[in-house]
């Protein structure tokens, strides 16, 4: 059986940092050989190290840090096994599959627009292959759709999870609409966990205005960006 692979977030940014690091490293080596002033050599060396360092940070955040965070978020949902769970912006299924593993008679539904710039090889086929590799195909459904216009009736889900998704919506109005859609499809008594790199104070405000109670679940530093995980409950 193939192993599940959850890809790299923002692969273009990772590649850009590696390429820039290599360019600055070549400039530093050439400057040293050509007896260019020391400040130019040191500057190019510093920039090369900075680019390589941030590429390493991005890779660690995608391959290790995000998995640890996902485990904490799924634990916070306190799934009993019979829930219908939505992963909003599921990508290749890290959180979707983690939720499915907690289910017995329940179902985990993932929805995404499958933008490759947000995650490498971001396709529904990759997500289904990961679900098969993890042995949860029977507990997972994957759909294509926009989280600002969810194709589900109101109060469809017992629990919702969304990780590193909402900031990809370019406008505040769009992000607010996505949050209102998540609140709409959550059942009374349901729980929602959100993690994002930006705008989480605004997310909490929008959800509170929609009638949910919201608390900061944890403070994180993935990608070296101060960020928060939120836990919301619908009365």
pLDDT digits (tens, 9 = 90+) for 59-91: 999 999 999 999 999 999 999 999 999 999 999
**What is the β-pairing status of strands 213-220 and 140-144?**
unpaired
H-helix or E-strand spanning residue 74? helix 66-77
Distances (CA, A) of 123 to 10, 136, 143, 155, 166: 15, 18, 11, 27, 18
Distances (CA, A) of 221 to 95, 109, 200, 207: 19, 28, 13, 23
At residue 204, the pLDDT reads 96
Q: How far, in Å, CA of 199 to CA of 145, rounded?
A: 23
Q: How far, in Å, CA of 139 to CA of 67, rounded?
A: 20
Q: What is the pTM of this model?
A: 0.90
pLDDT range class, residue 112, cuts 50, 70, 90: very high
194, 230 contact by CB (below 8 A) = yes
- Helix/strand/coil for 46: helix
- The conformation of residue 227, written as its DSSP 8-state character, comes to E
pLDDT range class, residue 35, cuts 50, 70, 90: confident
Contacts of 52 (CB under 8 A, 6+ apart): 17, 18, 21
- Helix/strand/coil for 206: helix
Tokens 């499809």 map to which residue?
185
91, 127 contact by CB (below 8 A) = yes
At residue 177, the pLDDT reads 97
Q: How far, in Å, CA of 193 to CA of 174, rounded?
A: 19
pLDDT tens per residue across span 50-63: 999 999 999 999 99
Q: How far, in Å, CA of 44 to CA of 27, rounded?
A: 6
């Amino acid at each position: 059986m193939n192993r599940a692979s959850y890809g790299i977030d923002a692969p273009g940014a990772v590649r850009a940092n590696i390429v820039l690091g290599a360019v600055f490293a070549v400039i530093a080596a050439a400057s040293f050989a050509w007896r260019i002033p020391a400040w130019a050599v040191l500057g190019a060396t510093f920039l090369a190290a900075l680019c390589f360092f941030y590429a390493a940070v991005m890779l660690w955040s995608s391959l290790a840090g995000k998995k640890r965070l996902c485990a904490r978020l799924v634990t916070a949902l306190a799934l009993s096994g019979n829930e219908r769970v939505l992963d909003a912006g599921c990508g290749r299924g890290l959180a979707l599959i983690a939720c499915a593993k907690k289910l017995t008679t329940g179902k985990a539904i993932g929805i995404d627009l499958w933008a490759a710039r947000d995650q490498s090889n971001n396709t529904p086929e990759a997500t289904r292959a990961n679900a098969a590799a993890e042995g949860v195909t029977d507990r997972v459904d994957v759909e294509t759709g926009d989280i600002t216009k969810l194709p589900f009736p109101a109060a469809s889900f017992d629990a919702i999870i969304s990780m590193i998704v909402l900031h990809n919506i370019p406008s505040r109005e769009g992000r607010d609409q996505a949050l209102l859609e998540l609140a709409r499809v959550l059942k009374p008594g349901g729980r929602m966990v959100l993690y994002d790199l930006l705008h989480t104070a605004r997310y909490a405000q929008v959800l509170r205005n929609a009638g949910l109670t919201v608390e900061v679940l944890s403070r994180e530093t993935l990608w070296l960006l101060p960020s928060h995980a939120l836990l919301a409950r619908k009365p």
